[in-house]
Amino acid sequence: MTQVIVVKAAFDPDAGVWYTESSDIHGLRIEACTLDALVARIPGAIQDLLEDGDGSDAIDIPIEVIAHASTRLRIPERA
């Protein structure tokens, strides 16, 4: 298992949701209305995907979430 799980999150302005764009965990595909909500859902979703063992030999693995969002600003043109 990797030392740190990296998850890249992005915002879809058309749908109005944050989603997992890519990650070190194959099959991790979730979305949420806010970045905080997405980050809160990530550990449980990863745990569901990795389901093996009874947890008696569990270890803590840090999850690094890298988020990307963009927006625009409209300003008048200068002559």
Q: Is 56 contained in some domain?
A: yes
CB 65 within 8 A of CB 39: yes
- pLDDT recorded at residue 2: 56
Q: What's the structural domain count of the chain? A: 1
Q: Is 73 contained in some domain?
A: no
Q: Is 40 contained in some domain?
A: yes
Q: Is 33 contained in some domain?
A: yes
Q: Does residue 56 carry a pLDDT above 60?
A: yes
CA angle 60, 65, 68 (to 5 degrees): 175
The domain that contains 32 carries what CATH number?
3.30.2390.10
User: What b-and-e string marks burial along 34-66, b requiring 16 or more CB atoms within 10 Å of the CB?
Assistant: eeeebbeebeebbeeeeeeeeeeeeeeeebebe
Q: Is 76 contained in some domain?
A: no
Q: What is the mean pLDDT of the chain?
A: 90
Segment 8-34 shows an average pLDDT of 95
Tens of pLDDT along 57-79?
A: 778 889 999 998 888 899 999 87
- Supply the range of the domain harboring residue 63: 5-68
Q: Is 60 contained in some domain?
A: yes
- pLDDT recorded at residue 55: 62
Q: Can you give the pTM of this predicted structure? A: 0.79
- pLDDT recorded at residue 79: 74
